[in-house]
Structure 1
Amino acid sequence: MAKTTKSKALVPAGQRKTSVMRKAATVAVAPATDGTLLPILGSDLALAKLIGDGGDVMREGGVVLVTGRAYATRACVVPAEEIFYDQAARPDGKGPWLGEADKISWRDGASGYDCIMLRNTDNGFLCGYVGIPKDHPLWGWDANAVPPDIGIDVHGGLTYSRLCEEGPSPTRRLAVEARRICHVTLRPAVYHPVEHATDHRVEDSHAWWFGFSCDHAYDLIPNARPNSSGSKSSELGRIYRDDAYVVRETVALAAQLRAIAEGDAAPARDGAPPPLGLDPRRGGGRG
């Protein structure tokens, strides 16, 4: 006897289960003009830091990405490839951080290395990162294992060492890109599908990143809890390390890493970070 089956057409519509095909989220891209940027950024200070004309702006939730514009600090203009503004990372209250971006990615012209300025999501301080290629003598080294006399002189010493984080994909979201420590894609995959392997910078596909953070005993941490080690009310003369300072330190780190790769002496640098001995959590001289 043949087995009978129930036709879906006979199942009441209210009880019928249907499969739902979820479409990948897309991010709308708009031309970056003063008319489109100001309502999205909500800050004249932030708008004033975006140099040049043209470019694109896109927003997803609380994250905004601007491309095609340079970024101005009080000391220099950064040839930014990506500029992120992330509400989740933005410090509370008024301070010198008003108008600053929360992530900037650029390629340093002198060293050829990719650089990132990135804000800590929890406490609002800035960090700097430099990616080195696989043929660099320090590729794969842990930050704590780098010899102190090798020529690295950066704010607070090296605190980060890691391979490129997972690269872009067609489903990646702006909120992820705003936190990712890796090289910039040639065409940001959050709004353009990845079609070819060359959508990544091939020479940097396995970059090793070194970084530093501005959350030491002598640093003012915007979102530090009262009476904590980074509190604004501390007796120590803490200083907020702004975007100009962090860009300077990041570029200096890139130059030092390039000199190590070339076997050259550490280059002269603009300014100097506080000695590590000022931070009770670190010992000795500068890193």
Structure 2
Amino acid sequence: MPKKKTSKALMPTKSTAPTLPQRFAIADTEIRPEQFYRLPGRQPTERGPWSDEPGKIAWKDPETGLDCIILRQENGTLSGYVSVDLDHPLHAYNHDALPRAVRNASHGGVDYAEPCRNYGPEAVRVCHIRPTGTPSHAPGKAEHDDKWWFGFRTSHPGDLVPTGIKPDRYREEGETYRDMHYVFAEVRSLARALKAFAYRPVEGSSKPLQIGSRAIDEDQA
């Protein structure tokens, strides 16, 4: 029996990499995905706002030029990640050592800081693999990735964790599922904060940092 390449029902414990879309509508914009995966093994079984979301999407933020990822976790929630290059002043920083302006730029605060994960399936690792001249999920030799990734999760108090919930308890009082549109906006906020910090004024300057459209005083950094 021939396999259906785009079926999400195949191998429910594994990932599926459908044809990489040229455009993906999200939040109030469109992005050009560099990775796009379905993760049936991490998809909550109950029907909800997560049902039609991909499991992983990676792209380059056009405003900041930074690489970004949204990845579904084993508990069904989404996490967001942004990477910086070796020449970024925060490269190799632990998440708890970040300046406040960056640490608090995304939902719940940055709580992930790691180098590229160059092990395990590409569909679930926080790393960009771009074989030259081929889609990111195609076979081939991966480029070296020395980026440092910062990230955040959406499983804090008040966040709805969809895996394991009862059908009649999708929303406990005060709990909200942080969907892909929400996480995208938070990823973009983190990317702007990281970009702004790279261009922060020299010591002694009275000019505030600029993160997106919001000025931040030096004492918040």
- Per the shorter chain, which TM-score range? 0.7 to 0.9
Deviates more, 1:178-187 or 1:124-133: 178-187
Of 139, 142, 145, 1:192 maps to 139
| Distance of aligned partners of 1:60 and 1:190 in 2 relative to their CA distance in 1, 3 Å threshold | farther
Give the match for residue 213 of structure 1.
153
Question: Amino acid of the residue matched to residue 158 of structure 1?
Answer: V
> What residue number does 1:180 align with?
125
Shift of 1:263: 1.1
Q: What residue number does 2:49 align with?
A: 96
Aligned mate of 1:247, from 163, 168, 184: 184
Among 106, 115, 119, which residue is 1:163 paired with?
A: 115
Counterpart in 1 of 2:212?
A: 268
SS at match of 1:115: strand
Contact 2:22 2:33 in 1 (8 A): yes
Name the counterpart of 1:64. 16
| Amino acid across the alignment from 1:136 | H
User: Are the equivalent residues in 1 in contact too, given 2:158–2:176 (CA < 8 A)?
Assistant: yes
Deviations 1:231-277 (A, max 9, x none): 74643x1111111111111111111100101116132369xxxxxxx
- Do the aligned residues in 1 keep the contact of 2:122 with 2:129 (CA within 8 Å)? no
Distance 1:185 1:224, change over 3 A: same
* Stretches of structure 2 lacking an aligned partner (at least 5 in a row): 202-208, 215-219
**Within 1, Cα distance between the matches of 2:136 and 2:32?**
20
Q: Which secondary structure state, in structure 1, belongs to the residue aligned with residue 42 of structure 2?
A: coil
CA offsets, 1:32-58, max 9 Å, x none? xxxx77x6247xxxxxxxxxxxxxxxx
Q: 1:149 to 1:85 in 2, by over 3 A?
A: closer
RMSD across aligned C-alpha pairs, in angstroms?
Answer: 2.9
Partner of 2:89: 137
Percent of residue pairs identical? 31
Question: TM-score scaled by structure 1?
Answer: 0.62
Bigger drift between 68-77 and 104-113 goes to: 68-77
Over 3 Å counting, the alpha-carbon distance change for 1:149 and 1:99 in structure 2 is closer
TM-score by length of 2: 0.79
Q: Quote the Cα distance in structure 2 between the aligned partners of 1:69 and 1:158.
A: 30
Deviation at 1:224, TM superposition (A): 4.7
What's the offset of the Cα at 1:188?
5.2
Q: Does 1:117 align with 2:70?
A: yes
Structural mapping, 1:222-237, within 5 Å: 222-224=162-164, 232=170, 234-235=172-173, 237=174
Aligned partner of 2:205 in structure 1 is none
RCO greater where, 1 or 2, for CA within 8 Å and sep 6 or more? 2
**Structure 2: how far apart are the matches of 1:87 and 1:219?**
22
Instruction: Write the distance in 2 (CA, Å) between the matches of 1:91 and 1:76.
Output: 26
Could you list the structure 1 runs, at least 4 aligned residues long, displaced by more than 6 angstroms after superposition: none
